[in-house]
């Protein structure tokens, strides 16, 4: 299970700001693979995006003087069956890894649902989940 770059963008919480951001990305053919938005503080929202071209996205955000951070998150593809999230979360817990947040998107190469997990050490989490997936495939 790999890691991937996530952009967390602080946006003004008012009509049209998300649309303008997404339009600027679309105009440069940057595809949004995963999206999460939640209130941050009064008048501000935190928007998390996984994008198919982080380099171009970064230049767009910089040109627009957008307030953002870049983070590595664990990217996990789970089999679509009951208990898969429970197994993944349990494995991370057993390894002492806390899940700070999570959300879903779509892998463009397979159309499979991907789970993005914000954790303190994305590389370690990805390795734990990769080992769990290998063990699950052989059982």
pLDDT in tens, 34-75: 999 999 889 999 999 999 999 999 999 999 999 999 999 999
| CATH number of the CATH domain containing 101 | 3.30.70.260
The first and second tokens of residue 135, run together, are 């063990």
Whether residue 65 sits in one domain with residue 101: no
For residues 79 and 95, the answer to whether their CB atoms sit within 8 Å is no
Same domain flag for 44 and 77: no
Domain count of the fold of the chain: 2
Q: Residue 127: which domain range? A: 73-138
133 shares a domain with 89: yes
pLDDT of residue 137: 63
Nearest to 2 by CA among 77, 58, 113: 77
The better pLDDT of the pair 59, 131 is held by 59
Could you give the C-alpha distances from 24 to 12, 28, 34, 66, in angstroms and in order? 16, 7, 16, 12
User: Measuring CA to CA, how many Å separate 79 from each of 22, 26, 34, 59, 71?
Assistant: 30, 30, 18, 35, 25
For residue 1, pLDDT over 80 is answered with: no
80 shares its domain with 48: no
Q: Are 119 and 125 in contact (CB under 8 A)?
A: yes
- pTM score: 0.87
What are the pLDDT digits (tens) for 98-118? 999 999 998 888 888 889 999
Confidence of residue 136 (pLDDT cuts 50, 70, 90): low
At which of 24, 56, 71 does a domain end? Answer: 71
Closest CA to 91 of 126, 118, 59: 126
Q: Are residues 55 and 93 in the same domain?
A: no
For residue 81, pLDDT beyond 90: no
Are residues 90 and 125 part of one domain?
Answer: yes
Specify whether 62 is located in the same domain as 106: no
Whether 64 and 107 share a structural domain = no
Indicate if 99 and 127 belong to the same structural domain: yes
Q: Are residues 81 and 119 in the same domain?
A: yes
- What's the CATH code of the domain at 54? 3.30.2130.10
Residues 139 and 132: beta-carbon distance below 8 Å: no
């Amino acid at each position: 299970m790999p890691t991937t770059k996530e952009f967390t963008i602080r946006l003004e919480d008012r009509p049209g700001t998300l649309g303008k951001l997404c339009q600027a990305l679309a105009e440069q053919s940057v595809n949004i693979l995963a999206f999460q938005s939640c209130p941050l503080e009064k008048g501000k929202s935190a928007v998390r995006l996984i994008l198919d071209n982080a380099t171009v996205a970064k230049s767009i955000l910089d040109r627009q003087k957008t307030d953002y951070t870049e983070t590595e998150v664990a990217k996990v593809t789970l089999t679509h069956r009951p208990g898969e999230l429970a197994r993944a979360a349990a494995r991370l817990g057993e390894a002492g890894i806390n899940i700070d947040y999570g959300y879903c998107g779509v892998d463009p190469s397979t159309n499979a649902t991907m789970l993005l997990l914000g954790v303190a050490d994305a590389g370690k989490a990805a390795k734990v989940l990769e080992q769990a997936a290998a063990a699950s495939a052989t059982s």
